[in-house]
Amino acid sequence: MDDKEVKVSIQCLTYNHKDYIRDTFEGILKQKTSFKYNVFIYDDKSTDGTTDIVLEYAERYPDVIHALIPPYNTYSMGDHAMWMERFKAKEFIGKYGCYCEGDDYWTDPNKLQIQYDFMETHPEVAMTVHASNWLNCETGESEDFHLYPGDGYISPDNVIMPPLGIFSFASVMAKKEVFFVDENYPKADIFDYPFQLYALTKGKVYYFDRVMSVYRYRHAGSWTSETENNQSKFLRHVITIIDFLKEYDNYTNCLYHNAVVKRSNWWLCKSAYYNCSIDSTLMFEMVDDITEKGKNRFSKYIEPIMKTHRLLSGEYVIPDNEKRILESYSQIVVLGLGDYQKHIADNLNGNDIDWEGYIELDHRKKENTYDGRKVWSMAEYPYDWDSTFIVIGGVWKLEEETLSEIQKYNCKHYFAPLWNDFLGDAKY
C-alpha cells in the first residue's frame, strides 16, 4: 500500500474479545470509501483465542491490517502506553484517525466517507462524532443513543460537561495531531474522555445525529463492569478524573473553567452517591488509602470528598452557626425532586431542622407530593420569598436555569450544598 494514498488510519485495541472481534473487523472492512485506509490492531496478549482471530484477519488482508501482539500483557505490567505509542508512530499514516476497540463495531458502511468528506471541507473541525447504539451485554437490550436532536457543532462546554454522556469512542474521527498528544498534557486512568478534551485544544467538534456504530458495555471483563462493581476502584477512578480536570484547567489556562468545575463537581457527587451506602469511617479508610494517608497529590480532595459523602449518606452535621441561620427563616424548602434532594432532606431531618417541603422549577413540576412532603412549583409557592430559605438539592449541572428562575422570583436566600468549587472561583 502506498502510504501517500491512505487518508484514514484506524486504531484498534483488543484484549479477550473473542466473541466480538469479528464484528469489529467486518464493520471496518465493509466501509465504502473513495480513499484507502489502514488498520493497526494491538492485541495485548489475549488468553481466550482473540489472538488467533486477529492473526487470521491480518493474514487475509495484509495490505490493510497490521497487528502487534506483545510478548506479555503490557497493561498489567504498566508499560502499555509505551508499546502502543511506538506501534502508533509506525502505523498511523493517514491524515485522519478513527478508533474502534475490539468489543465495539461499525454498522454503517458509509461512516468513514461521511466523516471524511465533512472534515475535508471544514478544516476548522478537529473531531467529528456521531450517534451510537448502546448494547448492554448483561441484558441483551440495546438502545440508540442520540446526544443531540440533530447535526451540528458541539460547544466546548458540552464536550466537557455532556448533557447526556460522552460520545462513544467508536464514533470518533479526528485529525492526526489529536492522536499524538502533547507530552505536557495531563494524564488519567482512561483514554477516551481526555482524548475528546484534547481535541478541543485543536479545533471544533461536530456531531452527526446518525447511528453508525455499536458500543458494547457491561460484558465480562470490561473496564466499566470491573470498575463500577468495585467501590474502592471506582473512587480511585473518580479522584483520578477530578485531578485530570484540575490539570486540564491549568493546561488550557482556565479557558473552560466553569465547565471544568461543573464536571468535577458532577464526578464528586456521583462518587458520593455511589458509595452512600457505606458509612463515613469506611469511606475515609478508602480515601486514606488512595491518598496514601494524605501524602500524595490527591490529598487536596479529601475534604470535599468526605463532605459530599456525608451529605449524601445522611451523616452531615450542620455547624451551629449555619443551623442558626437556617432557623432564622420562617420556611425552608428543598429545590428539586430526586435522590440527591432526598438525601439533602434526610440531613435536614437528621439535624432537627423544620422544613416545609419541596419546590420545583415551573416547567419541571409534575408531582404534588414527594416522599410524603408537599411539592410546589415556584409560581404556586404560597409563602413570602423574603422569609424563605431555599436549599438547592441538585448537582452543579443545571445551575443556569436554576439560578435564572430563582432570580426571576427575586429569591435572595438560597444555598447549594452540593455545588463544590474546589478548583477555584467559578462564575455563576
Q: What is the pLDDT of residues 59-107, one digit of tens each?
A: 999 999 999 999 999 988 989 889 989 999 999 999 999 999 999 999 9
Residues 37, 162 within the same domain: yes
**pLDDT at position 394, please?**
80
Residues 40, 160 within the same domain: yes
**Above 70 in pLDDT, residue 427?**
no
**pLDDT at position 272, please?**
87
Residues 327, 258 within the same domain: no
Per the CB < 8 A criterion, the answer to whether 67 and 35 are in contact is: no
pLDDT digits (tens, 9 = 90+) for 336-357: 999 999 999 999 999 999 999 9
pLDDT digits (tens, 9 = 90+) for 217-248: 887 766 666 776 788 888 999 999 999 999 99
Q: How far apart are CA 352 and CA 324, in angstroms?
A: 12
pLDDT digits (tens, 9 = 90+) for 1-30: 555 689 999 999 999 999 999 999 999 999
pLDDT digits (tens, 9 = 90+) for 363-394: 888 889 999 999 999 999 999 999 999 999 88
Residue type, 190: I
218 φ, ψ (degrees, to nearest 5)? 60, 40
Residues 265, 365 within the same domain: no
Q: Is 134 left (phi over 0), alpha (psi -120 to 50) or beta?
A: beta
In a domain? residue 223: no
> Stretch 24-47: mean pLDDT, rounded?
97
Q: How far apart are CA 16 and CA 44, in angstroms?
A: 9
Q: How far apart are CA 18 and CA 22, in angstroms?
A: 8
In a domain? residue 426: no
C-alpha dihedral, 413 to 418 to 420 to 425, nearest 10°: -30
Residues 266, 284 within the same domain: yes
DSSP 8-state code for residue 254: T
CATH number, domain with residue 8? 3.90.550.10
Per the CB < 8 A criterion, the answer to whether 196 and 166 are in contact is: yes
Residues near 10 by beta carbon (within 8 Å), at least 6 away in sequence: 28, 37, 38, 39, 40, 97, 98, 99, 100
In a domain? residue 420: no
Ranges 113-122, 130-139, 154-163, most confident: 113-122
CATH number, domain with residue 377? 3.40.50.20
- Hey, is 249 helix, strand or coil? helix
Strand ranges, E, within 160-308:
173-175, 204-208, 213-217
Residue 285 structural domain: 230-313
Least confident of 18-22, 115-119, 131-135, 233-237: 233-237
**pLDDT at position 425, please?**
42
- pLDDT category of residue 422 using cuts at 50, 70 and 90: low
Residues 324, 307 within the same domain: no
Of 214, 122, 119, nearest in space to 176 by CA? 119
- pLDDT category of residue 423 using cuts at 50, 70 and 90: low
In a domain? residue 258: yes
Residues 297, 333 within the same domain: no
Give the rounded percent of residues in the chain with a pLDDT score beyond 70. Answer: 95
pTM over 0.75? The answer is yes
Choose one of 164, 196, 218: the last residue of a domain: 218
**Above 80 in pLDDT, residue 395?**
no
H/E stretch holding 39 reads strand 36-43
Residues 129, 68 within the same domain: yes
Residues 206, 146 within the same domain: yes
Strand ordering across the sheet containing 142-145: 105-106, 213-217, 132-136, 142-145
Choose one of 291, 313, 335: the last residue of a domain: 313
**pLDDT at position 397, please?**
61
The total number of structural domains in the chain stands at 3
CA-to-CA separations, 173 to 43, 110, 120, 254, in angstroms, rounded: 21, 13, 12, 26
pLDDT digits (tens, 9 = 90+) for 238-280: 999 999 999 999 999 999 998 998 899 889 888 888 888 888 8
Residues 99, 243 within the same domain: no
What are 244's three cell numbers? 485530570
In a domain? residue 224: no
In a domain? residue 421: no
> Stretch 412-422: mean pLDDT, rounded?
81
Residues 195, 277 within the same domain: no
50 φ, ψ (degrees, to nearest 5)? -60, -40
What are 291's three cell numbers? 491518598
In a domain? residue 422: no
Of 364, 368, 369, 359, nearest in space to 389 by CA? 359
Residues 155, 198 within the same domain: yes
- Hey, is 220 helix, strand or coil? coil
| Average pLDDT, rounded, for the chain | 91
Choose one of 294, 313, 332: the last residue of a domain: 313
**Could you tell me which residues are beta bridge partners of residue 39?**
10, 65
**pLDDT at position 186, please?**
95
Helices (runs of H) and strands (runs of E) counted in the chain: 16, 18
